[in-house]
Each structure stands twice: as structure tokens, then as C-alpha cells.
Chains A and B, each alone.
Chain A
């Protein structure tokens, strides 16, 4: 096998040719190597070699790296760090061992600003588009309402039925636009909950009422099980919690078979209320389970069964439940059904 050894200056040449930042420290946390990329990212020069890691505190941007890793240089794997308004980094820190003995500490810094910018633009695009969609939706909704009330002349029964259908579709589209806006907000970290003592059951029944017609059409056997004790009012955002129930119920019905079952059970536990929504639908394929709460993600079997869908419901539900300090998870078997669970603390 062909083998060769590189000289120190060759290493430097190679590492200086990459745009990622590399900084290496010895066991006494003295800087023994820094590449050009690192110097450029943090606006410092190679004179820092030979100094202690604390020296980074003298540099405005590098200071943030020091605070991220701490003086003990904790092991870090691709952690995000915002250095300036337009400078985002991914930082890794690892102790390199030779056998059992620590040899050096390696810090790798990767500039992710461009990717962050694209993500931000995408979020803004979704947000602006959703706002823009609301105006024509309002125009359509109000026009149909005007026609349905017979204010533009009398309409036949058939026309009335068609207009009612269009009105319902516009409302569905308004909900999708609303969800898209919420996703964009969640992405920006701007979801703000308006918590007030609320009756969870009232919110649940209101969500169920939206799906009664669809359950009847699909001949779904629906059951609800409540705890013996009266549920206490808890601090939550009723509007957002309504979205969670809608998303979970929508999935439980939409991806269920005709004549299937949907069961909602509520449990009053010591410090929390637990909700379970069980269906006998298509289930989630094993391989796709880790992705199910990702934004815009739709399982392949779900896409096949119902081609249209935004893939926002579960993503939003997770953001909302976690925003309430609760937990959300599921159990599912493909072809048999899924049960989604979530908890809400009693506060």
C-alpha cells in the first residue's frame, strides 16, 4: 500500500485552502493551530497561536464561540451559533485521543449563513403568500355569501347547493392558509401563546363539531371516553389548542377506512391531562416515523391515499404542545392504525 507523510507546512497549506474554520488546542488549552478560514470568520489573525483559549474573549465575534463552548471546552456536535445579524455558524468541538490519551482538542466551524438566509426567505415567502391569498379568499367568500343570501337575485336549489359547496371549500382553504402562516411563524420562532384558564373539553367538542359531517359520510364509529373526575380548567391558548385537535382529528378521519373507528380518551393524571386519539387508519410506515413531525412532511402512504395536503398539521401540533410545556408522541402500525398522545400540564 502506498503511504506518505505530510510535513507540518503541507497540513497548514491544505487546511488554509478550505473555507471552514479549524482551531486546534493542546491539552493545556493552548492554541497550537488555526487556519485561514477560522481567522476570516472571526476577524483575527494567526498571532493567536500560542495563546490560551481565553484569548478569544478579546475578539468581539470569537467571544461568542468562547461562551458557547465554555472554558472547559465542552464536546459539541454541529451546534448553531449566531455571531452577527448575518453570520450563522455550525460549531463542533471534539477531543482527539491517541489510544486512551487525549491528544488535542479540535474545533470546527462551518459557515451556514447562506442556508439560513435561504430558509429565512422561504419562511418570508410563505408568510407573504399566505397574506396575499387571504384577500382574494375574502372576496370570494363574501361574494358567495352575498349570492347565497339571494341579494343578487333568486337562485335555484341546485345553484344553492353548489354555492354552499364552494363556500365550504373557501373556508377549508382559509384554514390551510392560516396553518401555513402559523408554520412560518413557528419557523421564525414567533409563535406566541395567549394562555388563559380554559376548558379543554369545550375546545375538543368544538373541534369535533367540524368533523361530524365527514365522520357520518365515512361511517366512522366515534367514541369519546372521559375520566370520572371533572377536568380542571387549565392554562392554555384555546385557538392554538383548537388547531391541535383539528389536525389530529383530521388525520384520524382522513386516513381512516370507511366504517373505521376513531376514539378519543382523556385521562386526568396527577400533574397533567393526557389525551389519546386512536384511529384504525393506514398507520405510519416504520421508516418514516422519525420524520412525521417535520414541517411539510407527509408519509408516502398518506400521499397515495389523499394526494392533497399541506403536511403542516403535525409539525404545528408539536410546536403548540411543546409551547404549552407538554409532550406529544404516537404509536402506530402500518395498515392497522395510529394513536397520537399528548399531555398538558395542570397549571
Chain B
């Protein structure tokens, strides 16, 4: 069965490229443009991993993290924060709210992101 990824990202060019790349790597991918939509999608789709931006219209990615950590089932889904915020306290905030990793988009290639996704999903399986 295909592993499921939810992308919460408001910048269409970035979410589209991530979507296509992950799709071609054999993942089943859904997208959301806001935190609110992301939470709704996460509850319906129940992904194996969430890729989450922080600066989103309306609620932020941090608020998204807080909310899913309150949900018994979703709180177990690993989240990779994929943001262009990358200062030490921003990274620490993501991690303290339960994100597995906080990665800086501009520093990574799509291939590196896919590798990270596979690593984390692999870890979760075992």
C-alpha cells in the first residue's frame, strides 16, 4: 500500500513541485493551503507523514502542530516542518511542539527532502 503524505504549504509552486516529486516517488499525496484546511485533511486522510510550512495565511504552522498534538490519533503522525524560517529559536519551537525535524526549504533539494521523508517513514515503521 502506498504511503500517504500531506503537504501543508500556501505557495502553489512549492506545493506543486513537492506534490509531483513525491507522487513520482510512489507516495499518495494530498495538499492543503492553510492550517485549518490541513487539520481537516489530516483527519480525513490520516497521513503517514505531514510536511508543514510555518508562515501560512490565518493560523500558523505552530498552531497546526499544537492542534494535532491534542488529537489522540494525529498526535502520532510524524511532522517535518519545511519552512524558510530557520533561526535557532524558530527551530527549537518546532521541535518543542513535537515536530520530528525543522528543515529550511531554500537549503534543500527536492531529492534531499524525499530522502528525509523516506528516512522518517522508515523509522516510524520499525
List A residues at the B interface (Cβ < 8 Å).
131, 134-135, 137-139, 141-143, 145-146, 151, 174, 177-178, 181, 185, 190, 192, 194
Contact = CB atoms under 8 A, between A and B. Distances in A.
A185 B111 CA distance: 30
Interface string B72-112: 00000000000011111000000000000000111101110
Contact of A151 (B24, B84, B105): B24
Contact of B105 (A134, A145, A181, A185): A134
Contact of B87 (A139, A143, A151, A181): A181
B111 A174 contact: no
B107 A142 contact: no
A138 B87 contact: no
B44 interface: no
Given A134-B105, A135-B11, A146 B20 contact: yes
Contact of B104 (A134, A139, A190, A192): A134
B11 A142 contact: no
Given A131-B84, A131-B85, A143-B13, A137 B21 contact: no
B104 A146 contact: no
Interface residues on B, range: 20 to 34
A135 B110 contact: no
Given A134-B104, A151-B20, A142 B85 contact: no
Contact of A138 (B14, B24, B85, B88): B14
Q: Is the interface of A mostly helix, strand, loop or mixed?
A: helix
By CB atoms of chain B within 10 A, which of A135, A138, A143 has the most?
A: A138
Nearest to A191: B88
B66 interface: no
Can you list the 7 inter-chain pairs with the closest CB atoms, starting with the nearest?
A134-B84, A138-B105, A134-B106, A139-B13, A142-B17, A138-B106, A137-B106
6 contacts: A134-B106, A139-B17, A142-B14, A146-B20, A151-B20, A174-B106
Contacts of B86: 181
Contact of A145 (B11, B13, B85, B110): B110
A145 B104 contact: no
B71 to A, nearest CB: 29
Contacts of B87: 181, 185, 190
A145 B110 CA distance: 7
B84 to A, nearest CB: 4
Contacts of B110: 142, 145-146
A138 B14 CA distance: 7
A229 to B, nearest CB: 34
Given A142-B17, A192-B88, A177 B24 contact: no
Given A135-B11, A185-B87, A177 B17 contact: no
Contacts of A181: 86-87
A31 B32 CA distance: 68
A146 B85 CA distance: 23
A135 B17 contact: no
Contacts of A194: 88
Contacts of B105: 134-135, 138
Interface in B1-47: 11, 13-14, 17-18, 20-21, 24
A143 B14 CA distance: 9
A139 B17 CA distance: 8
Nearest to B17: A142
Contact of B111 (A131, A143, A145, A177): A145
A135 B87 CA distance: 15
A213 B105 CA distance: 26
By CB atoms of chain A within 10 A, which of B21, B109, B111 has the most?
A: B109
B14 A139 contact: yes
A142 B109 contact: yes
A194 B106 CA distance: 21
A143 B104 CA distance: 16
Given A138-B14, A143-B17, A174 B107 contact: yes
